Amino acid sequence: MASSVHSSHSNASVLIFLFVSAILGSLSKVVLAGNFYKNVEITWGDGRAQILDNGKLLNLSLDKASGSGFQSKNEFLYGKFDMKLKLVPGNSAGVVTAYYLRSQGSSWDEIDFEFLGNLSGEPYIVHTNVYSQGKGDREQQFYLWFDPTANFHTYSILWNPGHVVFYVDGKPIREFKNLEPFGVPYPKNQSVRIHSSIWNADDWATRGGLVKTDWIQAPFISSFKDLRTNACVWSNGVSSCSSNSTSDAWRLSQELDSTSQKRLKWVQRKFMVYNYCTDINRFPHGLPLECTVTTKS
Provide the mask over 235-264, with x wherever binding to ligand NAG is found by CB under 6 A and - wherever it is not: -------x-xx-------------------
- Which C-beta is closer to ligand NAG: that of 72 or that of 92? 92
195, 101 in Cβ contact below 8 A?
yes
Q: How far is the CB of 118 from ligand NAG (least distance, A)?
A: 4
Write out the E strands in 210-295: 220-235, 238-239, 272-275
Q: How far is the CB of 159 from ligand NAG (least distance, A)?
A: 15
List Cβ neighbours of 83 (8 Å cut-off, separation of 6 or more).
Answer: 99, 154, 155, 156, 194, 196, 224, 225, 226, 227, 228
Question: How many residues interact with ligand NAG (rule CB under 6 A)?
Answer: 19
Restricted to residues 77-96, the positions that interact with ligand NAG (CB under 6 A) are 86
Among 63, 122, 248, 279, the residue binding ligand NAG under the rule CB under 6 A is: 122
- Which C-beta is closer to ligand NAG: that of 183 or that of 284? 183
Active-site positions read 110, 114
110, 131 in Cβ contact below 8 A?
yes
Q: How far is the CB of 141 from ligand NAG (least distance, A)?
A: 8
Q: How far is the CB of 248 from ligand NAG (least distance, A)?
A: 12
**Whole-angstrom distance, CA of residue 288 vs CA of residue 291:** 6
Q: Select from 156, 150, 50, 52 the least CA-distant residue to 92.
A: 150
Amino acid at 38: K
List Cβ neighbours of 108 (8 Å cut-off, separation of 6 or more).
Answer: 102, 131, 133, 134, 190
Give the three-class secondary structure for 89.
coil
Among 56, 82, 108, 123, the residue binding ligand NAG under the rule CB under 6 A is: 123
163 burial type by CB count under 10 A (0-12 exposed, 13-18 middle, 19+ buried): middle
- Which C-beta is closer to ligand NAG: that of 60 or that of 157? 60
Q: Select from 137, 140, 174 the least CA-distant residue to 155.
A: 174
Restricted to residues 156-215, the positions that interact with ligand NAG (CB under 6 A) are 189-190, 205-207
Span near ligand NAG by CB under 6 A; candidates 12-20, 118-126, 160-168, 196-204 = 118-126
Tell whether residue 229 is a contact of ligand NAG (CB under 6 A): no
Q: How far is the CB of 76 from ligand NAG (least distance, A)?
A: 15
- Which C-beta is closer to ligand NAG: that of 269 or that of 296? 269
CB count in 10 Å sphere of residue 252:
11
Interface contacts to ligand NAG, rule CB under 6 A: 50, 52, 59, 86, 116, 118, 122-123, 125, 189-190, 205-207, 221, 223, 242, 244-245
